[in-house]
Structure 1
Amino acid sequence: MITTQTFILVLSAGSLVAALITYIIVKAEKQRCKLITDQNLMLQTELNQERQLLAEKQNAFIEMDKQFTTLQAEYKNLVQRFEELKDNRAKEEERFEHLAAKIIERKTSKFDHQHKEGIKEILAPLKERLKHFEEKVEFSNKASLERHSSLREQIHMLTQLNEKITKEAHNLTRALKSDTKKQGNWGELILESILDKSGLEKGREYHVQKSLHDDEGRRFQPDVIIDIPDGKKMIIDSKVSLVAYEKWINSEDEEEVVQALKMHAKSIKQHIDGLADKNYHDLYKIESPDFVLMFIPIDTAFSSALSGDQGLYQYAFDKHIVIVTPSTLLATLKTVETMWRNDKQNRYAIDIAVEAGKMYDKFSNFVQDMEKMGRQLDTVKGSFSDAMNKMSTGSGNLIRRAEKLKQLGAKASKTLPEHLVALQD
């Protein structure tokens, strides 16, 4: 039989085993909760990164939508101005025709060949200026319509370009990671492809690999120099950093991922420091904005670097450098292209105003010439009336005396007009 002491020992041992099992279960549950928490944090970090990428793209689309709205307003204004100019032209032509017809009808029913040639000489320059003026207005209107229709295509192109560059970047990362020279060439190639799609013209609005010298005679060769209206300049330099980025993409261990992100951010920081030491923004002095654009050809390469160092963007900005990626750079270049387009439209408006002023001055001179011609016709008509009076009316007029001489026996082979002779009765 089991004694009381033995029973107590068995009961104590059972309690100890139960407590040990409970401790093991609780510890396992805590570890599972910690693992779930770590996974949630990692997923939240990835979600934040994707949200940041989405926000950047949304901002780019918002900027494009603003530009689209601005172009719509500009197009509407141009159409309205064009219609007003057409109405004014029609009114001026109608007024001119009415005035010319009234003057001609009032003064005389006939013009000799000399008068007709004189009017042609006056009207020909006016007609030519009107034609030139109309061509400029139609050209400006057509250009605005073309830009309006192509803006939607450019917005769609921005999305496709970003997706294409990202896909190509991942495919080329492994091939380029061991060759720094090829990395640089590839980055410049991506940069030039974005410039080709920006609407800016190479050699006119931007220049590639142009050599510059500072005050000390040192030679610099930035990747791209963008010309901005009013003589301003903006410099873009491409920087590619793929080694640590490739490790981050392919790492499965959490510690390796964190370490790769830090190394990737450090690599980009080194590019920032190297670019800042060149002081590109000082080469053009007051002609250049107080910053340089550092182009990273992969959007996710920059966003991942920010995950490794959230102060990276501000670090670059403090050194007069603004980091851009394909999506943000294209939006920036589109803004510059819009500035150039507005500058051209302003020049067209000035030319139109000058031509309109010349046309008005010419028309004013023409009206003055017509009024002068009318006064001259009045003078001729008055002189003609005086001569006719002396010849056919009044006492002792020439026709009366000529007829009297004929009656007295003067020999003549011709006779005077009967209606003039009848006036003498």
Structure 2
Amino acid sequence: MNSFMVSVLGLLLLFLLGFLLGGGLAVFLLRKREANTRAQIEEKFAAQLATREAELVALRDEKSALAIRRAELETELAAERTLFAERQATLEAARDSFADAFKVISADALAKNNQTFMELARATLESQQAAAQAAAKADLEKRQLAIGELVTPVKASLEKFEQQIGNIEKQRIDAYATLSEQVRQMSVAQLALRAETGNLVKALRAPQTRGRWGELQLKRVVEMAGMLDHCDFFEQESTSTEEGRLRPDMIVKLPGGKNIVVDAKAPLAAYLEALEASDESDKKKKLDDHARQVRDHLVKLGRKAYWEQFQPTPDFVVLFLPGEMFYSAALEADPSLIEAGVDARVILATPTTLIALLRAVAYGWTQQALNDNAERISALGRELYERIAVLGDHWASVGKNLNDAVSAYNKSVATLESRVLVTARKFQTLEVTGSDKAIRDLNPVEALPRAVQAVELLSKDEGLFKD
């Protein structure tokens, strides 16, 4: 009987020891998993984003990951609670099972000690159950606290991220509103520009208006270059030939009497039609026509040989295109247009290049004026030099006359003192003058006129005072 009781107690102790070891192992595994989870979360929060746009994308991704992780942690917590409930149910079932086993096995043998053993077993089980429940409860509270500590910063970070996302969204809305307003203003300006362009195109369709506009553009270019009207250039000058009357739009006068002929009657009709074309193929065709018309006009202008009618003139004529766009459009459609102009002795000129050409001509006129002024100054210098030489002769004569006058004065004073005043003073000694006033002594003049040292003022023959 005693050995049987010892065996039963041994089995109970082994069962309880296994139960305790299993619970401790489960707690250790749970803590290790918690440490791993915490390390993973800390590594995720250690990364930093490089740019703002990347930060926004990363924040959203991290938010989703944290939400998923939070759900996983909550799932694990629920699983731990379920496991705890299952273990508690297992303990209850084990207690009931042990109670039934004890009743069957020791019904007769332990009749007397049944109540004592059951009470002892119940007390032991209750104490173990209470300890296990307390440990599980403490562990659960600790886990809840740790999860709360992990979730709270995540919640704060998510709130901060949501605030940043809200600010970025607000800035995007404001920027979109500003951009929409700018696009609207650009649309209004484009419509106004299109209307003005349409009016200009309509006005330039008339040949007379187009020609007058080209002449006005030419006049503006000439004025900006500093070439005054009817001084350095002439408009609408013409000449008659066997083939008819040639009338260039402008003749630029060069220093030395030479001329440069400028023609401003460039064809623009095809280019204006290209501006109104709605189809790209039609627009390209019109631009090709524009280049061909410019080439044909180059050839015709070269055949007129203006340089033979307005001599002396360089053997070329300038074709003025009243806008850079006319030149660039023609050159884009026909890159060999410049070579064709050189072959026809026609130089294409836009407002920019013509201003540079006229500025060079104006500089030549300035240098010509400086040369003319230098010649006038040289003539004035020669004339002034000759007049100064004549004035030097006159001054030499004046100096010589002054010297002669001083010499004559000194001689007359000497004669007066030695021959006249000596006798006259005797009357005062004889007291027959009737006056107390004495005859004043006369002194000779010692100073002489200063001789002129400048060679230019000396007499051409002998100098100022040569005897």
Partner Cα separation in structure 2 for residue 218 and residue 247 of structure 1: 31
Equivalence for 1:17: none
Equivalence for 2:102: none
- How far the C-alpha of 1:339 sits from its partner, in A, is 1.6
Match of 1:227 among 245, 248, 253: 253
Match of 1:335 among 360, 365, 369: 360
- How far the C-alpha of 1:172 sits from its partner, in A, is 5.4
Please tell me whether residue 361 in structure 1 is matched to residue 392 in structure 2: no
CA contact (8 A) 1:399 1:421 kept: no
Partner Cα separation in structure 1 for residue 195 and residue 398 of structure 2: 78
Please tell me whether residue 208 in structure 1 is matched to residue 230 in structure 2: no
> Residues 317 and 415 (structure 1 numbering): CA distance in 2 closer, same or farther, change over 3 Å?
farther
Match of 1:283 among 309, 315, 320: 309
Unaligned runs of 5+ in 2: 1-192, 444-467
CA contact (8 A) 1:237 1:294 kept: yes
Match of 1:186 among 213, 217, 225: 213
Match of 2:439 among 384, 409, 418: 418
Spell out the pairing of 1:365-376 with structure 2 (5 A cutoff): 365-376=390-401
Partner Cα separation in structure 2 for residue 217 and residue 417 of structure 1: 110
TM-score, L = length of structure 1: 0.52
Partner Cα separation in structure 1 for residue 434 and residue 304 of structure 2: 110
- How far the C-alpha of 1:258 sits from its partner, in A, is 3.7
Aligned length: 251
Partner Cα separation in structure 2 for residue 389 and residue 359 of structure 1: 45
Letter paired with 1:267: Q
Letter paired with 2:346: I
Unaligned runs of 5+ in 1: 1-165
Partner Cα separation in structure 2 for residue 421 and residue 296 of structure 1: 95
Partner Cα separation in structure 2 for residue 220 and residue 392 of structure 1: 98
Equivalence for 1:246: 272
- How far the C-alpha of 1:327 sits from its partner, in A, is 1.3
TM-score, L = length of structure 2: 0.48
Equivalence for 1:304: 329
- How far the C-alpha of 1:383 sits from its partner, in A, is 0.9
Partner-residue secondary structure (3-state), 1:213: strand
> Residues 167 and 349 (structure 1 numbering): CA distance in 2 closer, same or farther, change over 3 Å?
farther
Letter paired with 1:184: G
- How far the C-alpha of 1:413 sits from its partner, in A, is 6.3
Partner Cα separation in structure 1 for residue 270 and residue 413 of structure 2: 110
CA contact (8 A) 1:198 1:330 kept: yes
Higher relative contact order (CA 8 A, sep 6+): 1
> Residues 288 and 169 (structure 1 numbering): CA distance in 2 closer, same or farther, change over 3 Å?
farther
Partner Cα separation in structure 1 for residue 319 and residue 363 of structure 2: 22
CA contact (8 A) 1:293 1:323 kept: yes
CA contact (8 A) 1:169 1:298 kept: no
Partner-residue secondary structure (3-state), 2:319: strand
CA contact (8 A) 2:413 2:442 kept: no
- How far the C-alpha of 1:236 sits from its partner, in A, is 0.9
Partner-residue secondary structure (3-state), 2:263: strand
- How far the C-alpha of 1:368 sits from its partner, in A, is 3.7
Partner-residue secondary structure (3-state), 1:219: strand
Partner Cα separation in structure 1 for residue 195 and residue 382 of structure 2: 56
Partner-residue secondary structure (3-state), 2:261: strand
The structure having more radius of gyration, on CA atoms, is: 2
Partner-residue secondary structure (3-state), 1:231: coil
- How far the C-alpha of 1:316 sits from its partner, in A, is 1.3
